[in-house]
Amino acid sequence: MTAETSVAPAPAAPQAATAARRDEYRLRPGWITIAAKELADHVLSVRFYVLLIVLGVAAIIPMYFAGETIRSAGETASGVPAVFLYLFTIGPEGVDFGPISFTVQAFIAIAAPLLGVAFGFDSVNGERHEGTLPRLLSQPIHRDDVINGKFAAGLLAITIALGAVLAIIAGFGMLRLGIVPKAEEILRLIAWLGVTVLYVALWLAFGTLLSVVIRRASTSALVGFGVWLFAAMPFIGPLLIGLLGSVVASGASTQAEYLGTIQWVARLLPGQVYAEASAALLRPTITSVSASDLYGPQGQQQIPGLFSIDQSFLLVLPHIVVLLALTIGCFALAYARFMRQEVRA
């Protein structure tokens, strides 16, 4: 008599788990997959650490001098409202750097756009130069997932760098100076970080636009850094815009009208819009960002006071809308051009 042997079926649990992971991968948007891969490449790249060091040096050096200035003030500084925010807004005493204000706020305004240009100038044409763009677009993802994922990854990497620098400055203020920020000061710093990220997003969108329009990465880098030197550095662009504003405002009848016209012309540069928003968020004593209001009859008769965080936010809301509109406009141009481009293998 022969005994019948039965073969036990293979367990279905590993196969079910693998199928579930595949289904989850298919359901996950393609731009998230590309953003995760690009973010890992950014964080592990030498470029990220070099730019992080540049941003850290640009912020920590003026922060050190600001801390020494606050310490030298001694008991006088303890009675000043929002003294913790002075780490970002004051510079060393008796030092003149010409058009450059030696403060954390000013140096972040100069160095942060560099991050946006650096992470965006070769986001698309770099893939095209290496020959990986056709293979990337042959994957089961939508075409717009590529540019969306690259933009999201670059913005997230820059946000991590800015957040790390801000945390270092805040930690320095609490440890070395013994200053504990109040709740409203923390909210102001968070709001300032958000506006700074939005300002960097504008430059990242501009760099992405250059990467889509210009075929060679080296050419887009030269154009991007040239525009950064013109618009963000306080040597060429602001001086030329200031001269243009002086010509336009030459027919003003009052000083308030003259300064107001110059300010409106200066707002042609997004750096001026960001500078006004940063000053209003980091300095609660600023109750107006309009030169015509500050130097007009009403501004001279105004009693000095302090704005709360919600009042300061309402004050800079038009600036935020302008920066957001410019960012969306630059990215929309890059998006439309990339979707219409022909990609050959």
Residue among 204, 176, 159 at smallest CA distance from 328: 204
DSSP string, 66-97: HHHHHHHHTHHHHTSTTGGGHHHH---TT---
Structure tokens at 236: 């060429």
Report how far residue 222's alpha carbon sits from residue 312's, in angstroms, rounded to the nearest whole number: 37
Amino acid at 157: A
pLDDT given for residue 44 in this prediction: 87
- Residue 73: HSE in the Cβ half-sphere, 13 Å Cα cutoff: 18
Q: How would residue 203 be classed by pLDDT, with cut points 50, 70 and 90?
A: very high
pLDDT given for residue 204 in this prediction: 94
Q: What are the counts of helices (DSSP H) followed by strands (DSSP E) for the chain?
A: 17, 0
pLDDT given for residue 66 in this prediction: 74
- The total of other beta-carbon atoms located within 10 Å of residue 112's CB is 23
* 8 Å CB contact between 238 and 251: no
- Greater confidence (141 vs 100) lies with 141
Q: Is 34 left (phi over 0), alpha (psi -120 to 50) or beta?
A: alpha
Residue among 84, 110, 53 at smallest CA distance from 232: 110
User: Mean pLDDT across the chain, nearest whole number?
Assistant: 80
User: Rounded to two decimals, what is the model's pTM?
Assistant: 0.84
- Each residue's pLDDT tens digit, 54-81: 887 777 777 777 777 776 665 555 556 6
| DSSP at 124 | T
Sign of the torsion angle spanned by Cα atoms 200, 93, 54, 173: negative
pLDDT given for residue 249 in this prediction: 77
Structure tokens at 221: 């880098």
In this predicted structure, the answer to whether residue 298 has a pLDDT above a threshold of 80 is no
